[in-house]
């Protein structure tokens, strides 16, 4: 439907730009505030644009006691959960698509229900379970929880991808003398590369974002992750908004950059893997 | 989480035949190994799912019928108390206030997210490619921002004395916002949290619906145009029927996400001031983790699941059945 009317088109363009500004503003404001001298954030003056740029806030943020420790914890948990979830996910996706076995439908149903279940409601039993097996306050507990939260999604997504690769290709390879596994490894697995990358990244981001279980299972200060640390910024940074924003930028930047790199695919409607809390 | 259209894949050329009629000499199959292979492959996933989701799911129901406070936990006692936990919660007027608050809050977030998302999706079709790209990049940035980073930024924007929002409002003539505290009442705190959730939730919905719009064949519009349909009639006759199922799905997903939201609510004001922004998931945390009333907290969790089931159970059944059909 082409809008023939020029005035209408200009109006819609204006609305679009206004919305773009609204959605962009918080990101801009985070970066802008992080680059200002700290006292410039605490003035009553009105300035939307940076006048002088400094990296002092970043020095303040990363030299806070514990920062490197929390960053390491976050990385261990997110990378570990990502590797486990994607490995278990691809192992499960292969037989679901390529083999017939008893209980297959039931398993798929379990995965589907797990994806829709509100995991937050399992907080109490999860806490007691980790306490009973002696993992409370230990990073592996958090890693396992994050595997549980991302695994249904990775299985489901990878299953979709494997299904999208025609089985004929494998059959042709088998006619040419490959074994069943050889055909899968030489034909299908290489085609799955992009799928593995995207599910990996989404598992990583989900775990990177996770807050509730980190808050509950890591009662010990030294085992906290970045999100939990950031949530206490008012005690960590006081009214140092520059420092708070710099810490937020450090936390957000890897994810923001990744999204900008792949934004073409996201916009193309390949929205598999919504990351949301 | 797009529903991928699955076609049933025929098993490979050499299906593992459990009833192999006599092992041929050339194809030396190991029927047992072949039969076990799929189970070996799904074992890690199934163990993880059952241990970390299935077991806690059963436990949450069982614990909700037990008296389990710190004392029982330390002593390792199992004390069944029937429906006492439920009676305690349902008899507490505060619980009903929190439930109603959670529902209203969820409704506001969902209507805001889906409404704005739908408008942006429709808008994206009407604007030039450059403006569209600018809009899309700003949406991607909002979507990508980790929740906790977004939460701190919103607290800074809404800051009482130095926040840019109050400064802007004063600048354009609303002097009463000088030093206005956005976090002094539960209602305005929840408003800020809802704005934060909508801001983060819209991009995904907008992109999903936009992708749906792109799949509406253009010749349908041409046909509608030839038949003399106005823009609105074209929307009613062509766009909406194609979009309606996707809007339904987006609404369903938003309800699932927003009803149980904890991170943003807790990180902004821990459910305060005076518990006025406490939602059901925060109540579960306060009862169970802060108060060590694990049995009561489990009952809150079960009630949460029940409310959610009432809200979206029908839709969930439909979704599962449709996916099942595609197995």
* Arithmetic mean of pLDDT, B237-258: 89
Q: Tell me which of B120, B153, B192, B320 to substitute to probe the interface with A (most A C-beta atoms closer than 10 Å).
A: B153
The conformation of residue B80, written as its DSSP 8-state character, comes to: B
Q: DSSP readout, A147-193?
A: HHHHHHHHHHHHHHHHHTS-HHHHHHHHHTT--HHHHIIIIIHHHTH
Instruction: Map out the domains of chain A with their CATH numbers.
Output: 65-232 (1.10.3720.10)
Given a cut of 70, whether residue A3 has pLDDT beyond it is no
pLDDT, one tens digit per residue, over B73-131 is 999 999 999 999 999 999 999 999 999 999 999 999 999 999 999 999 999 988 989 99
CA distance A267 to chain B (A): 6
* Arithmetic mean of pLDDT, A116-141: 94
Q: Does B60 lie at the interface with A, CB-CB under 8 angstroms?
A: yes
Are the Cβ atoms of B147 and A211 closer than 8 angstroms?
A: yes
Lowest mean pLDDT across A82-96, A259-273, B8-22, B176-190? B8-22
Q: Which of residues 71-100 of B touch A (CB under 8 A)?
A: 73
The residue that leads in pLDDT, B41 or B234, is B41
pLDDT, one tens digit per residue, over A20-33 is 999 999 999 999 99
What confidence tier does B282 reach under pLDDT thresholds 50, 70, 90? Answer: very high
| Main-chain dihedrals φ then ψ at residue B66, nearest 5 degrees | -120, 150
Q: How many residues are recorded in chain B?
A: 327
Lowest mean pLDDT across A34-48, B169-183, B200-214? A34-48
What confidence tier does B146 reach under pLDDT thresholds 50, 70, 90? Answer: very high
- Residue B29 has a pLDDT of 54
Given a cut of 90, whether residue A137 has pLDDT beyond it is yes
Q: Does A95 lie at the interface with B, CB-CB under 8 angstroms?
A: yes
pLDDT, one tens digit per residue, over A67-100 is 999 999 999 999 999 999 999 999 999 899 888 8
Interface A-B: count of C-beta contacts within 8 A: 348
What confidence tier does B17 reach under pLDDT thresholds 50, 70, 90? Answer: very low
Q: Tell me which of A121, A167, A177 to substitute to probe the interface with B (most B C-beta atoms closer than 10 Å).
A: A121
Instruction: Say if residues B126 and B308 touch (Cβ distance below 8 Å).
Output: no
Are the Cβ atoms of A122 and B53 closer than 8 angstroms?
A: yes
Sign for the pseudo-dihedral over CA of B259, B265, B271, B272: negative
- Residue A141 has a pLDDT of 95
Q: Does A7 lie at the interface with B, CB-CB under 8 angstroms?
A: no
Q: Which of residues 275-294 of B touch A (CB under 8 A)?
A: 281, 284-285, 288-289, 294
pLDDT > 70 in chain B, percent: 89
Task: Return left, alpha or beta for B27; rule: phi > 0 is left, psi -120 to 50 is alpha, else beta.
Answer: beta
Instruction: Say if residues B312 and B83 touch (Cβ distance below 8 Å).
Output: no
Q: What is the distance between the alpha carbons of residues B82 and B65, in angstroms, rounded to a whole number?
A: 5
Nearest CA-CA partner of B121 in A16, A23, A59: A16
Burial of A176 (0-12, 13-18, 19+ CB in 10 A): exposed
Given a cut of 60, whether residue B1 has pLDDT beyond it is no
Average of per-residue pLDDT values in chain B: 87
Chain A residue numbers with beta carbons less than 8 Å from the beta carbon of B18 are none
- Residue B15 has a pLDDT of 43
Lowest mean pLDDT across A134-143, B58-67, B217-226, B312-321? B217-226
* Arithmetic mean of pLDDT, B260-264: 95
From the list A91, A258, A260, the residue facing B42 with the nearest CB is A91
Are the Cβ atoms of B135 and A148 closer than 8 angstroms?
A: no
Given a cut of 50, whether residue A191 has pLDDT beyond it is yes
Given a cut of 80, whether residue B326 has pLDDT beyond it is no
- Residue B238 has a pLDDT of 81
Given a cut of 90, whether residue B16 has pLDDT beyond it is no
- Residue A5 has a pLDDT of 78
Chain A residue numbers with beta carbons less than 8 Å from the beta carbon of B211 are 268-269, 271
Q: Which of residues 53-92 of A touch B (CB under 8 A)?
A: 84, 87-89, 91-92
- Residue B172 has a pLDDT of 92
Lowest mean pLDDT across A54-63, A220-229, B223-232, B264-273? B223-232
Q: Which residues are CB-neighbours of B104 under 8 A, at least 6 positions away?
A: none
- Residue B327 has a pLDDT of 59
Q: What is the distance between the alpha carbons of residues A246 and A221, in angstroms, rounded to a whole number?
A: 21
pLDDT > 90 in chain B, percent: 68
pLDDT > 90 in chain A, percent: 53
Nearest CA-CA partner of B89 in B255, B292, B259, B302: B302
- Residue B215 has a pLDDT of 81
- Residue B20 has a pLDDT of 41
* Arithmetic mean of pLDDT, A142-165: 93
From the list B168, B199, B214, the residue facing A269 with the nearest CB is B214
Given a cut of 90, whether residue B136 has pLDDT beyond it is yes
From the list B127, B131, B288, the residue facing A123 with the nearest CB is B288
| Main-chain dihedrals φ then ψ at residue B162, nearest 5 degrees | -120, 5
Radius of gyration for chain A, computed over Cα atoms and rounded to the nearest angstrom: 24
What confidence tier does B8 reach under pLDDT thresholds 50, 70, 90? Answer: very low
Lowest mean pLDDT across A43-57, B95-109, B178-192, B217-231? B217-231
pLDDT, one tens digit per residue, over A214-271 is 999 998 888 999 999 999 998 888 889 999 999 999 999 989 888 888 777 666 544 4
Are the Cβ atoms of A256 and B327 closer than 8 angstroms?
A: no
The conformation of residue B244, written as its DSSP 8-state character, comes to: H
Are the Cβ atoms of A167 and B234 closer than 8 angstroms?
A: no
Instruction: Say if residues A22 and B157 touch (Cβ distance below 8 Å).
Output: no
What confidence tier does B151 reach under pLDDT thresholds 50, 70, 90? Answer: very high
Given a cut of 90, whether residue B233 has pLDDT beyond it is no
Q: Does A116 lie at the interface with B, CB-CB under 8 angstroms?
A: yes
Given a cut of 60, whether residue A2 has pLDDT beyond it is no
Average of per-residue pLDDT values in chain A: 88
Nearest CA-CA partner of A112 in B7, B324, B79: B324
Q: Does A170 lie at the interface with B, CB-CB under 8 angstroms?
A: yes
The tokens for A133 are 């097996």
What confidence tier does A277 reach under pLDDT thresholds 50, 70, 90? Answer: very low
């Amino acid at each position: 439907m082409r809008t023939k009317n020029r005035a209408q088109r200009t109006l819609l363009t204006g609305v679009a730009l206004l919305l773009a500004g609204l959605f962009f503003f918080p990101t801009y404001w985070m970066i802008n505030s992080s680059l200002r001298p700290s006292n410039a954030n605490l003035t009553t003056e009105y300035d939307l644009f940076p006048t002088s740029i400094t990296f002092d806030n970043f020095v303040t943020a990363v030299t806070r006691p514990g920062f490197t420790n929390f960053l390491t914890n976050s990385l261990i948990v997110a990378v570990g959960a990502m590797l486990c979830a994607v490995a278990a996910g691809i192992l499960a996706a292969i037989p679901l698509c390529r083999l017939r076995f008893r209980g297959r439908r039931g398993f798929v149903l379990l995965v589907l229900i797990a994806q829709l279940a509100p995991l937050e409601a399992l907080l109490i039993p999860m806490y007691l379970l980790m306490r009973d097996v002696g993992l409370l306050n230990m990073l592996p507990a958090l890693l396992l929880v994050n595997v549980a939260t991302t695994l249904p999604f990775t299985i489901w997504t990878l299953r979709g991808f494997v299904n999208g690769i025609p089985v004929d290709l494998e059959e042709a390879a088998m006619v040419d003398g490959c074994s069943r596994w050889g055909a899968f490894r030489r034909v299908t697995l290489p085609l799955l590369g992009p799928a593995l990358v995207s599910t990996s990244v989404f598992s990583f981001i989900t775990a990177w974002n996770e807050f509730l279980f980190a808050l509950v299972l890591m009662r010990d200060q030294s085992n906290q992750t970045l999100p939990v640390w950031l949530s206490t910024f008012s005690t960590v940074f006081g009214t140092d908004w520059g420092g708070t924003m710099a810490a937020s930028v450090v936390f957000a930047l890897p994810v923001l950059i990744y999204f900008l790199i792949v934004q073409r695919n996201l916009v193309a409607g390949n929205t598999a893997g919504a990351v949301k809390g | 989480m797009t529903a991928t259209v699955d076609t049933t894949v025929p098993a490979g050329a050499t299906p593992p035949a459990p009833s192999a009629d006599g092992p041929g000499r050339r194809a030396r199959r190991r029927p047992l190994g072949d039969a076990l292979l799929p189970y070996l492959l799904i074992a890690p996933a199934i163990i993880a799912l059952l241990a970390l989701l299935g077991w806690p799911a059963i436990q949450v129901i069982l614990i909700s019928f037990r008296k389990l406070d710190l004392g029982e936990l330390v002593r390792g006692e199992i004390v069944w108390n029937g429906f006492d936990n439920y009676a305690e919660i349902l008899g507490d007027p505060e619980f009903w206030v929190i439930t109603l608050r959670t529902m209203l809050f969820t409704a506001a977030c969902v209507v805001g997210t889906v409404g704005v998302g739908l408008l942006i999706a429709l808008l994206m079709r009407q604007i030039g490619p450059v403006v569209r790209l600018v809009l899309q990049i700003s949406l991607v940035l909002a979507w990508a921002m980790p929740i906790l980073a977004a939460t701190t930024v919103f607290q800074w924007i809404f800051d009482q004395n130095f926040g840019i929002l109050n400064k802007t409002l004063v600048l354009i003539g609303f002097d009463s916002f000088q030093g206005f505290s956005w976090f002094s009442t539960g209602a305005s705190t929840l408003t800020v949290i809802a704005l934060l959730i909508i801001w983060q939730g819209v991009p995904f919905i907008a992109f999903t619906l936009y992708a749906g719009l792109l799949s509406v064949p253009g010749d349908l519009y041409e046909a509608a145009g030839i038949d003399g349909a106005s823009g609105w009639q074209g929307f009613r006759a062509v766009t909406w029927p194609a979009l309606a199922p996707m809007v339904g799905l987006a609404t369903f997903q938003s309800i699932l996400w927003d009803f149980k939201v904890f991170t943003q609510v807790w990180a902004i004001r821990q459910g305060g001031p005076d518990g006025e922004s406490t939602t059901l998931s925060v109540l579960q945390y306060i009862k169970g983790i802060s108060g060590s009333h694990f049995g009561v907290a489990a009952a809150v969790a079960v009630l949460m699941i029940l409310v959610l089931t009432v809200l979206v159970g029908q839709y969930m059944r439909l979704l599962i059945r449709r996916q099942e059909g595609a197995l």
